[in-house]
Amino acid sequence: MGMLRGTAYSSQARRKQEPFRELRRDYPSQKNGRAEALSRSLGRGSRRVQATSSRRVKTALSKYDELTLIEKLQDRQLSKLSLRGTDFRDLRKKHYAERRHYPKEAKGKSIRSAPVTGVEQGVVNAVANSVHLIFVAVMVLVMLGLLSVFSAGASLEGNADLGYSSFLTQLLWISVGWGCAWILSKLKYQTIAKFSFLGVVASLALLIAVFPFGVQSFGSKRSLHIYGPLYFQPSEFAKISMILFCAYALHVKREKIKQFSHLCFPLLLFLALTCGLIVIQRDLGSASIIFLSILVVMALSEARMFHVGIVGILGAVGCALATYDEPYRLLRFLAFFNPWKDPLGYGYQLIQSYIAFGTGGLFGLGPGMSRQKFLYLPNAHNDFVFSIIGEEFGLVGTLVVIFMFIIIAIAGMKIAEHAPDQLGRILAAGITSLFVIQALVNMGGVTGLMPITGVTLPFVSAGGSSMLVCMGCLGILFNVARQVESTGGKV
């Protein structure tokens, strides 16, 4: 009787192992139980998936290589499996087979392979808190910007109607920007990044179109006229398109990016073309911000730090040559060291900015009470809006602005740290670095800690193109955070 029970048990065990014999025969390098564990992992979310898991595993392993298989198996956890000798830990991707065979049942549902642990729930909570902090920080910056733009805009021609006009225009761009942020937060950033090459081509075409069709402003052509008071600056659109493209290219090339030739093409080629066109338009500040943001993206990828250092040195040399080539840039650089040498010339802006900060004191003169905005401080509603905040809200107001950007930096890097894949990590870090670098360049220029470059303060300065692009970047950053929450904090 015992022998019969043993025979029956053996037959039952053989029947259970039957679906995995073909896998072991096709892939002898796999250890016993690897394919079985893979099939069980794939079949853990649904009974239908369990019934056909072995067949799908066989099809997947024979049809796709390792990297493609990872992309095809979203929302699945492959715990410490070895596919063809390569180890992948805790990889969770979306299972398109489930959605393809059962679209109605799977529509809008996230298929999870395992219950969320306490650590993973902590990751989800941390990312959710980061999103809330960034949202609050951006709203504070936007409100301060609206107050300052309304105050400074009224003094452009000594007409209060112009203040309302600039305020309403800024409010319009903010509304459109929030709409773009909402749309981009709902789309998958992987899909957006796949079409980033078209964005780079479009930005290059717009930058070239500025030369024959651009509007002359302050001695240079940087923007295109849309309609009425609406203008568009292509260099702002180039910021988000270059970050998306470089992040996607670095993600796709992976290990190949360690070769300098793969780093040069197409990344450095398009970076050089974009920055070169922007420099020709006499906007060295925007070109420098794009270059530094891409440098951060490269440093966080698989590229060698030696190659990243070479690119940084080449960029510094190019910036020095561009500064020396244009007299006004050289004068601005000299004003950084001693603006009082020519107080009515190249040092005038910086000195008037100093007066605004000094007049504000600790708590400021009050909203709308700035005196420097009355044609003493050029571009008070745009490049030097931080000086107006310092005059009207004092040291407390400037510290609030700085603290908001610190919150954005920390929370943005927290989202990048827990991103579901390498693309999300690089993209979130690149967008966060764009916000922080541009804020540092603007605030450093108006306070005399850096040469004046003429870039806007994100979320604060007047300017539709800058506001629209910043809101779009914010939407992509929220997109990465949303996918972290949808996967339960598992990478």
Give the amino acid at 27. Y
Residue 410 lies in a domain: yes
pLDDT tops 60 at residue 49: no
At residue 335, the pLDDT reads 82
At residue 80, the pLDDT reads 35
Residues 6+ apart with CB under 8 A from 421: 190, 251, 491
Say if residue 184 is in the same domain as residue 100.
no
**The pairing of beta strand 230-232 with beta strand 94-95:** unpaired
Instruction: For 193-235, write each residue's pLDDT tens digit.
Output: 999 999 999 999 999 999 888 887 766 778 888 877 778 889 9
pLDDT tops 80 at residue 1: no
Cis peptide before 367 (omega within 30 of 0): no
The model's confidence at residue 41, banded by pLDDT at 50, 70 and 90, is: very low
Domain boundary among 114, 134, 161: 114
Say if residue 55 is in the same domain as residue 151.
no
At residue 162, the pLDDT reads 55
At residue 405, the pLDDT reads 96
pLDDT higher at 49 or 373: 373
Structural domain that includes position 200:
119-486
At residue 274, the pLDDT reads 93
Instruction: Calculate mean pLDDT across residues 82-91.
Output: 39
At residue 89, the pLDDT reads 38
At residue 205, the pLDDT reads 93
At residue 389, the pLDDT reads 92
Say if residue 124 is in the same domain as residue 207.
yes
Say if residue 110 is in the same domain as residue 132.
no
Residue 180 lies in a domain: yes
Residue 491 lies in a domain: no
Say if residue 370 is in the same domain as residue 240.
yes
Say if residue 424 is in the same domain as residue 313.
yes
pLDDT higher at 63 or 451: 451
Instruction: For 120-171, write each residue's pLDDT tens digit.
Output: 667 778 888 899 999 999 999 999 988 888 887 666 545 555 557 778 888 8
Both tokens assigned to 259: 């070769």
Lowest average pLDDT, out of 139-143, 146-150, 455-459, 478-482, goes to 146-150
Instruction: Calculate mean pLDDT across residues 293-306.
Output: 88
* Domains in the chain, number: 2
pLDDT higher at 219 or 285: 285
Say if residue 332 is in the same domain as residue 464.
yes
Residue 2 lies in a domain: no
Other C-beta atoms closer than 10 Å to the C-beta of 152 total 29
Say if residue 95 is in the same domain as residue 135.
no
At residue 255, the pLDDT reads 74
Say if residue 103 is in the same domain as residue 53.
yes
Mean pLDDT of the chain: 76
Say if residue 139 is in the same domain as residue 72.
no
Residue 301 lies in a domain: yes
Residue 8 lies in a domain: no
At residue 55, the pLDDT reads 52
Torsion sign (Cα): 330, 331, 335, 341: positive
- C-alpha span between 411 and 134 (Å, rounded): 7
Q: What sections of 214-347 are H helices per DSSP?
A: 234-253, 260-262, 269-280, 284-299, 305-325, 327-337
At residue 95, the pLDDT reads 41
At residue 226, the pLDDT reads 81
Instruction: For 240-278, write each residue's pLDDT tens digit.
Output: 999 999 999 888 887 788 888 888 788 888 999 999 999
Instruction: Calculate mean pLDDT across residues 322-346.
Output: 83
Instruction: Calculate mean pLDDT across residues 443-464.
Output: 88
pLDDT tops 50 at residue 101: no
pLDDT tops 50 at residue 337: yes
Asked whether 177 and 470 are in contact (CB, 8 A), the reply is yes
pLDDT higher at 117 or 443: 443
At residue 487, the pLDDT reads 64
Say if residue 47 is in the same domain as residue 129.
no
Domain boundary among 73, 94, 114: 114
Q: What sections of 102-195 are H helices per DSSP?
A: 103-106, 118-153, 160-186, 189-194
Both tokens assigned to 158: 């000594």
At residue 150, the pLDDT reads 82
pLDDT tops 70 at residue 281: yes
Residue 59 lies in a domain: yes
pLDDT higher at 365 or 95: 365
This prediction has a pTM of: 0.74
Say if residue 155 is in the same domain as residue 66.
no
At residue 377, the pLDDT reads 83
Residue 4 lies in a domain: no
